[in-house]
Structure 1
Amino acid sequence: MTRNNVEIREVTDGQSLKEFIRVPYAIFKDDPNYIPPLEMERMDILSRDKNPYFEHAEACYWLASRNGETIGRISAQLDQLVQKYHGEKTGHFGFFDCINDQSVADALLETAENWLRERGAEKVIGPFSLSINEETGMLVDGFDTPPSLMMAHSRPYYESLVKNHGFEKVKDVWAYWLDISQDILPPAVDKLVKRTFNSDKVTIRPIDMKNYDRDLATILDIFNDAWSDNWGFIPFTDNELKQVAKDMKLLIRPDFTYIAEMDGEPQAMMVTLPNLNELIRDLNGKLFPTGIFKLLWRLKLHPRYKTVRVPLMGVRKKYQNGMIGGAMAFSLIETCRIHATAAGCTHAELGWVLEENTRLQKMLETIGCAHYKTYRLFVRDL
């Protein structure tokens, strides 16, 4: 399809998929904060044969070019679980990157919208790459720092491109930054934590790597319960749980990942991961031939990262509004902080957090977290 001298091509094979993955390299070539993701990891996420997301969803990818030069990309997704859990015929778009040209953005967005409309979608929300459990939202504030692991990066003009096309804001999610090199618990919170744990009812234990699959399944079960009332929530399927367990195993550290138990039953959890983006910054997305050895050296043999990210944290719903739930959450944060600083880390990103989740925002701000990035989701009726 050609519109306003913009050619839109569907991604149909491995070669065009590689081209799709590499589009941001040119878009961000003069942005010092852009970090190319690992191409192998992107290929696996976008592969219909490898990503269990496609057991309940379908997607299509397109490239935009002009005069033979690739200048943009986009995806469209239709997930059966969205309608199952939210009763909405809602499609998603994602992987939106393009030059600062409204005609290019319009051609890409219109192509995604037409594909979704043909499949019965009544509105479109995005960007999600590919789902709400992966990269969520478009960066609209916080361009002056690089993205952390599993978080998106955008050009400041992206927001104008989608709004000029007719999209409106539907939701913001926030990321927080925390200096973990110093004590973070206020005296009153520290007293609450100590009183709770002196009762012997609540204990915190690290993930057991000998029973890794079992413990990670427990962590994700807590996540599914803790987040189930949140806007846009979609639970992990069994096969997605298995894939997450496989994907995260290289990054998981038992001294960074904890489960809180109440009378021996798991009720809260926190996963802190090395900020992989800090370690792959100079690899230009490639693990081979030498990148894999550099990564393993930096990650396992001679760890040198200074930042970590907390992508998963949750307390089961029955404890969320009580003193014990708060004590478990603060204790998990402090336990992870102590061990992360012992490993040489100095800062952590926590998030994302929904803009209306004032309870969690207040808790994070109590320990000194600063809201430093905002990711926006947009909606348009079809």
Structure 2
Amino acid sequence: MANAPLSIRPIDSKADRKRFVDLPFRLYANDPNWVPPLKGEALGLITPAKNGWFSHAKAQLFLAERDGKVVGRISAHIDTLALEMDPAKGFGPGCGQFGLLDAEDGDIAKALIATAEEWLRDQGMTRVLGPISMSIWEEPGLLVEGFDHPPTIMMGHAKPEYRGWIEAAGYTQAKELLTYELDITKPFSPLLQRIIASGEKNPRIRIRNVDKTKFDEEAAIILTILNDAWSDNWGFVPLTPPEIKDVGVKLKPIVFNDLIRIAEVDGKPVAFMITLPDLNEAIMPLRGNLLPFGWAKLLLWLRRPRVKTMRVPLMGVLKELQSSRLASQLAFMMIEYIKQASVANYGATRGEIGWILEDNQGMRSIAEAIECTINKRYWIYGKTL
């Protein structure tokens, strides 16, 4: 009943975590663009023993209930590594986060946000960023534009009204994250084709596939470049060994040699590009469950995915080369080779690049040069506590 009192309580039991995961399945039941996550994956995200992020972070989950029915949820969390970052780059001392916000109405959302803020204050936090669910490497930001099509793998979705609810709680935009889409069946412009051809003639440059049989070695190379390339970015928090292990287990089934490239100059790895077939296309019909037959369908799909969309979640080039013509050339070459493989080997027609920070002019210039268009915008909000 709408006039029944609202109660919000902290949770930690397995049964309550299941209720926490189940709520969006009811709230988004009629939203054709919401992708139901696999419930096991969603539970793993909020279970400390199953998520390496908790090795340097702590979180409190809250459920809002009315008349015994779950009507809202939220997480409040603190990342100890984020506390060590430069405040000018997003996090820093005294900065906590909230995330995983879902609610039936604005009043419930307001009460949940206030509860998360109170917990963060009790932990000594003086400001908050959100929504971040739960690591910056997972699903950061609130969708504010692009509600008309489903998100790709590892990107979030939300109801349009959430923006007003968060802003009504006193939050203002801290950073905008962008995703770009492009038609990967179209050839690049003659200028870009000449740039790529020039790189192919340069004996110093080698663009190679990764070797999945050497997964750990290849991951270490990519991580070294990533930590250097992204270290000055807003919101950067280095990945830790427990997180890397978890990411490897989660993503290894959708890692394909021809979709991940490493660029070498004079034999030294200097850049990389990771592309993933959009797993959301395969899991969307499963409605969150692998049983009774979902597991068989997913395993069959994983043998050789046929997808519409490929997502590029990560690209990076060593800082020593950033802003150079060579960096752009390497990027165009990797994009072209992966684009060709995506169309020929997986039947893809569409690519999505992102997220990209609004002020990352280098990546935005590359996206615009290959004639991408912005298809979704996500906002991370901030507030002083």
Q: What's the TM-score, normalizing by structure 1? A: 0.96
- One-letter amino acid of the structure 2 residue matched with residue 127 of structure 1: P
Instruction: Give deviations 1:254-301, integer Å, cap 9, x for gaps.
Output: 011110011111111011111010011111111123111111112215
Instruction: Give deviations 1:236-268, integer Å, cap 9, x for gaps.
Output: 112222222222110100011110011111111
**Distance in 1, Cα, partners of 2:337 & 2:273:** 10
**Distance in 1, Cα, partners of 2:362 & 2:213:** 35
Quote the residue 1:277 is aligned against: 280
**Distance in 1, Cα, partners of 2:246 & 2:297:** 24
Structure 1 residues 341-380: aligned runs within 5 Å: 341-343=343-345, 344-380=347-383
Structure 1 residues 48-59: aligned runs within 5 Å: 48-59=48-59
Structure 1 residues 180-199: aligned runs within 5 Å: 180-183=184-187, 185-199=188-202
Quote the residue 2:269 is aligned against: 266
Instruction: Between 242-251 and 170-179, report the one with greater CA deviation.
Output: 242-251
Quote the residue 1:139 is aligned against: 143
Q: How far 1:304 moved relative to its partner?
A: 2.6
**Distance in 1, Cα, partners of 2:357 & 2:6:** 36
| Pairing 1:165–2:169 present | yes
Instruction: Between 268-277 and 5-14, report the one with greater CA deviation.
Output: 5-14
For structure 2, which runs of at least 5 residues remain unmatched after alignment? 87-91
**Distance in 1, Cα, partners of 2:219 & 2:300:** 25
Question: Secondary structure at 1:173's aligned position in 2?
Answer: strand
State the percentage of identical aligned residues: 41
Instruction: Give deviations 1:162-191, integer Å, cap 9, x for gaps.
Output: 1111111111100111111121x2222222
- One-letter amino acid of the structure 2 residue matched with residue 133 of structure 1: W
- One-letter amino acid of the structure 2 residue matched with residue 91 of structure 1: G
- One-letter amino acid of the structure 2 residue matched with residue 93 of structure 1: F
Quote the residue 1:318 is aligned against: 320
Structure 1 residues 87-106: aligned runs within 5 Å: 87-99=92-104, 101-106=105-110
Question: Secondary structure at 1:146's aligned position in 2?
Answer: coil
Structure 1 residues 288-299: aligned runs within 5 Å: 288-299=291-302
Q: How far 1:63 moved relative to its partner?
A: 1.0
Quote the residue 1:203 is aligned against: 206
Q: What is the RMSD of the two structures over their aligned residues, measured on CA atoms? A: 1.3
For structure 1, which runs of at least 5 residues remain unmatched after alignment? none
Q: What's the TM-score, normalizing by structure 2? A: 0.95
Quote the residue 2:336 is aligned against: 334
Quote the residue 1:309 is aligned against: 311
| Pairing 1:228–2:231 present | yes
Q: How far 1:379 moved relative to its partner?
A: 0.8
Q: How far 1:4 moved relative to its partner?
A: 8.3
**Distance in 1, Cα, partners of 2:126 & 2:383:** 9
Q: How far 1:359 moved relative to its partner?
A: 2.3
Quote the residue 1:174 is aligned against: 178
Contact 1:11/1:61 (8 A) holds in 2: yes
Quote the residue 2:256 is aligned against: 253
**Distance in 2, Cα, partners of 1:160 & 1:5:** 23
Contact 1:63/1:74 (8 A) holds in 2: yes
Instruction: Between 347-356 and 65-74, report the one with greater CA deviation.
Output: 65-74
**Distance in 2, Cα, partners of 1:144 & 1:159:** 16
- One-letter amino acid of the structure 1 residue matched with residue 189 of structure 2: P
Quote the residue 2:15 is aligned against: 15
Quote the residue 2:60 is aligned against: 60
Quote the residue 2:28 is aligned against: 28
Contact 2:145/2:377 (8 A) holds in 1: yes
**Distance in 1, Cα, partners of 2:221 & 2:94:** 31
Quote the residue 1:44 is aligned against: 44
- One-letter amino acid of the structure 1 residue matched with residue 35 of structure 2: I
Quote the residue 1:214 is aligned against: 217
Instruction: Between 193-202 and 341-350, report the one with greater CA deviation.
Output: 193-202
